[in-house]
Structure 1
Amino acid sequence: MPSFDIVSEIDMHEVTNAVDQAKRELGNRWDFKNVEADIEQDDKGITLSAEQEFQLEQLLDMLRMAFAKRNVDTRALEESGDSKAGKLVKQHFTLRQGIETPDAKKIVKLLKDSKMKVQASIQGDKVRVTGKKRDDLQAAIALIKESDLDMPLQYNNFRD
């Protein structure tokens, strides 16, 4: 029986490359000369720090542009809080990986409500979709791509 998996994964190596690229751009920008600003990556996510709020927004734009150049979906960035430490304003972003249970339930409900001849089951942090025909599975992929789910999704492990 044909099946495929819906997953939400990001390539951490490409994320590291995108952060490095944004740091290089930060060093080259004239509007950031003599300004204390930085982009840092750790195990938990990415932290942006700058002296003022608008500079923080500029850093975020630079990071998003670097993500786009590296084909990393910017929807994987989830804001997890702002903080002010002395004269710096910091903003932390976590990197979302895996499909959380409420989002997986939305995907399953979307497929069931569409009356397609496919079955969806939640398996940990991914959703497995099975059907009798390959065309049904391709229609399910098209339906999920058209829906406005706010997360980066990939479709892998397609088996006939």
Structure 2
Amino acid sequence: MKLKSLSLIAGAIALTLTAIPFTVKAQTGSSSPLIVAQTPKKERGFWQSLELTDTQKAQMQSIRNDTRAKMEAILTPEQKAKLAAAKAQRQAGQGQRSRKGWGELNLTEAQKTQMRQIKESSKQQMQAILTPEQQAKLKELQENMRQRRQQRQQTR
């Protein structure tokens, strides 16, 4: 009789321990989509953790728009058409979340050099907007991302 009771208790404990993670995941998972749906896409994740002011957000958006315009100005009409098609495909849910559209443009070396210069200028402009604390946080976040990327590559 004692053996039967002990095995029932052990089974109940095991069942409880295995059910807890599923319960926690179900509770956090159900509220998560609401939060994500209410938060604009550009304010989630990486940049959100920097706690930008409204002024900084507006300046960042302006820099991003300016950067995109400068990069698109470098492209030939054929390259622009390819990029637009890739964007439409992504918006339709058929494409991946990568920069595949830019990668398939067959850029010339001169275009690649100009793109790098534009990106570097944009990066410097964005960093100039940040406070010293935000710059330190950005550096920390970038280092964490670099480490996670290296760990993923090592596990493959």
TM-score by length of 1: 0.27
Structure with the largest fraction of strand:
1
Report which of the two structures shows the higher radius of gyration computed on alpha carbons.
Answer: 2
Higher helix share: 2
Q: RCO higher in 1 or 2 (8 Å CA, sep ≥ 6)?
A: 1
- TM-score where L is the length of structure 2: 0.27
